[in-house]
Amino acid sequence: MQLWHPNLLPELPDRLLTALHRDICKIRSSQWRSPTNVRTWFYALPWGSLIWYHGKVIREMQRRKWKPSAVWFDPLYRGKMLPMASTLTEADLSRKKLGDIFLKTCPIPQDKFEQMLQKWKSAKGV
């Protein structure tokens, strides 16, 4: 699974964006903070930063005229089978702060993401 750089979301092919949304939904639900996944960088993110990123993915889906379920805009929602997450403070919801945390935590620079995306597109003939 790959969380792409937020600035590249508009360039992702539909197939990658759909897979990204599905994977984030999975992370937000049962896999969040799972001990088996602690080696992956994005599991170290604060909950709010993951929500910030997912919001960007959902807005990109809407920009493409897709209709993702509105429940995913609730920062406390974790999926149909799980209870809501604990309460977030206003500070946790500061978009700038959460975006900064996401970008600082991400070990891959944007240009590397761009190279990975171009390779993927070349391999798939997109």
What pLDDT does 90 receive? Answer: 47
Residue ranges of domains in the chain: 6-107
The single-letter DSSP state of residue 37 is G
pLDDT in tens, 44-84: 777 788 888 999 999 999 999 999 888 888 888 887 877 77
What pLDDT does 91 receive? Answer: 47
CA distances from 86 to 26, 41, 74 (A): 18, 22, 12
SS3 (DSSP) at 1: coil
Determine the residue type at 24: I
pLDDT in tens, 3-46: 888 989 999 999 999 999 998 888 887 666 565 555 677 777 77
Phi, psi (deg, nearest 5) at residue 107: -80, -5
